[in-house]
Chains A and B, each alone.
Chain A
Amino acid sequence: MKTKTDSQQLICVDIGSTYTKGALFALKDGKLELLDRQLSPTTVEHLPDGFYSVAKKLVPSQDWKRPDYDHDELPVFFSSSAKGGLKMAVVGLVPDMSLHIGRLAAFSAGAKVYFSYPYKLARKHIREIESADLDILLLCGGTDGGNEFYVQANAEKLAASSFSGTIIYAGNSTVDEEIEEILEDKKLVITENVMPEFGELNIEPVRTAIREIFLEQIVAGRGLKELVNKFDSRPLPTPLAVYNLAKAIGENVPGWDSFGMLDIGGATTDFYSFCESFDPDSSDSMLKGVAEPKLKRTVEGDLGMRVTAVSSFEIGREELVNSETLSEDEALAMHEYTEKVAADTSYLPDLPEEKAFDFHLGGICARHAVTRHAGTMKQAYTANGRVWVQTGKDLRKINKIIGTGGYLASLGRENKALAVPQYEDKSDAISLVPTDYLYYADTQYILPLVGNLAEKYPKQSAKLAIELLNQIKIKD
């Protein structure tokens, strides 16, 4: 079944932290098709070994070790999140302004943000940065021609530190030269300001810079250079492959112009939204602060199913008990369960009670990742009636949510959906989360692999991705 001579075959491989997964696709008459998928354990000491093991399973007839590989005959695309993925810190100025935009830029390049610091870096922050083994630090703050004090002060602190990763400067461009001089002994990339004018978002240049640094420096450090040269293929950070796919879906598939994607992992929870962030024609609402991008990704470092199970439970415990979803006794048992799975992160539950705990844990991750991602709206009374003041992104137009990642894939295989839990909210601000949507599970956990093709084949990969999803009815 694997050899169809009249069609082009393509291979995608995603090198994850525990498994290296691969898929063989066929491109025929402008349509993509999934032919096979395989996996092997990731070989942390030498990542290419796991890669070849998967490749061989997919196409045994190919001589994978031959030095003059013909990449036109069988093109290879690959992504990696091995060895902690793309690790970043963001240093900005005002939390809701330049720091917020800097974080959005990092997330949308596929990074995980370990630290975010506003205003002036303190000594303890420098210590955290030094000891974290980060790949990239993004330094921003100030509009063009605006504040120049903080970025320079922070650059001085970084210059005196032992931080050895790459620094991207994307703050007030007036002091580009000063920054260059202060950080002359560091690996430094200077790019356009993330917020050239107050409230204006400019994240593409930083995304491009991160992409290039990933290729030129980080890939080599992860032992992937060999694959780059051999297959003449530029790897992506895994979340960027997923991000590109989300963009391709939103721009190309009818009926998918407003959707969300939830990826609950062992350590983190990612949420992607593709929709207009604010309705500019609305006569009774106004937007304050940053106008957020149509495609937005956020990553929550304290929400996850295993590594961060304990912190996730702490975040959601009260809601579960107050809503009588859990009794006090059950909450105690769930607390013990989260401690157990945090210590044994590959644990898979088999008792119904444990499965229920995982389901609640997933609910907490979903609810808080989505709520933090979403904006809020407050009412103000004026003579010409009520006015809604919105900050952040309005997700209420989202009418479809995709569940992906290991947990939601396996839940999907049991034909179960995970709706984002809603609880009564007493605050005066309305959270702009999606409330009415269809649920689709990535039961084969194939999206990162399809995502590898999204830049080159946006229409075809988007269409295939949707075909591979399973719609599951949400039970009330």
Chain B
Amino acid sequence: MSKPMTVVLGVIGSDCHSVGNTILNVFFTEQGFKVVNLGVMVSQEEYIAAAIETGAEAILVSSLYGHGEIDCAGLREKCIEQGLDDIILYVGGNLVVGKTDYSLVEEKFKKMGYNRVFSPEFPLEDMAELLRQDIRKRRQERENKD
């Protein structure tokens, strides 16, 4: 049996929309991931502390309440500072404020260092599959490095 895929999950900033978080927790657990769920109102430091201690391979950030851009900036840099250089960062939720074009939003968050950016409509099964692929790829790259 291969090592379980550990992911850290939480809603960033002062955001307390908890429904989506609960759904994602149940969903990823059912999909066979080991989920470390930090719940709502999660600071960048909390994600990182959890990712280090649990040896997580990805951090899944949610932002629903419209302040995602401010809350999410700088997480990649903090990860690098703490030795989590190649951790996979996903972000999803209501990242668009108003009627902004989604591709612009995606570009913005990718610039911030997020590997993938999801709209609320993106099918969860497809997303889980992408996550598995990304984690396998990361493991491969790490092995090649050694």
Give the B-binding residues of A (Cβ under 8 A). Answer: 93-94, 96-98, 141-143, 145-149, 172, 195, 198-199, 286, 288-289, 380-382, 384, 387, 389
CA–CA, A148 and B55, complex, Å: 7
- Which residues of B are found within 8 Å of A195, using beta-carbon distances? 53
CA–CA, A71 and B34, complex, Å: 54
Check A141–B53 contact: CB distance below 8 A: yes
Give the A-binding residues of B (Cβ under 8 A). Answer: 3-4, 6, 14, 16, 34, 36, 39-41, 43, 46, 49-50, 52-56
Q: Name 16 interchain pairs, CB-CB below 8 A, sorted by A.
A: A93-B52, A94-B52, A96-B49, A97-B53, A143-B54, A145-B3, A145-B4, A145-B6, A146-B56, A147-B53, A198-B53, A198-B54, A199-B50, A288-B41, A289-B46, A382-B16
Check B53–A93 contact: CB distance below 8 A: yes
- Which residues of B are found within 8 Å of A149, using beta-carbon distances? 55
Which B residue's beta carbon lies closest to that of A118? B52
Partner of B54, one of A96, A146, A288, A389: A146
Please give the distance in Å from A91's CB to the nearest CB on chain B. 14
CA–CA, A141 and B53, complex, Å: 7
- Which residues of A are found within 8 Å of B14, using beta-carbon distances? 380-382
Please give the distance in Å from B28's CB to the nearest CB on chain A. 15
- Which residues of B are found within 8 Å of A380, using beta-carbon distances? 14, 41
Name A's interface SS: loop
Check B16–A387 contact: CB distance below 8 A: yes
Check A94–B54 contact: CB distance below 8 A: no
- Which residues of A are found within 8 Å of B36, using beta-carbon distances? 198
Please give the distance in Å from A288's CB to the nearest CB on chain B. 7
Please give the distance in Å from A31's CB to the nearest CB on chain B. 48
Which B residue's beta carbon lies closest to that of A287? B39
CA–CA, A353 and B143, complex, Å: 69
- Which residues of A are found within 8 Å of B43, using beta-carbon distances? 288
Check A147–B55 contact: CB distance below 8 A: yes
- Which residues of B are found within 8 Å of A198, using beta-carbon distances? 36, 50, 53-54
Please give the distance in Å from A382's CB to the nearest CB on chain B. 5
CA–CA, A289 and B53, complex, Å: 12
Residue in B43, B50, B54 with the greatest tally of chain A CB atoms within 10 Å: B54
Partner of A389, one of B34, B41, B49, B52: B41
CA–CA, A380 and B13, complex, Å: 10
- Which residues of B are found within 8 Å of A98, using beta-carbon distances? 53
CA–CA, A288 and B50, complex, Å: 12
Check A142–B53 contact: CB distance below 8 A: yes
Please give the distance in Å from A283's CB to the nearest CB on chain B. 13
- Which residues of A are found within 8 Å of B4, using beta-carbon distances? 145
CA–CA, A94 and B40, complex, Å: 21
- Which residues of A are found within 8 Å of B56, using beta-carbon distances? 146
Check A286–B49 contact: CB distance below 8 A: no
CA–CA, A448 and B41, complex, Å: 44
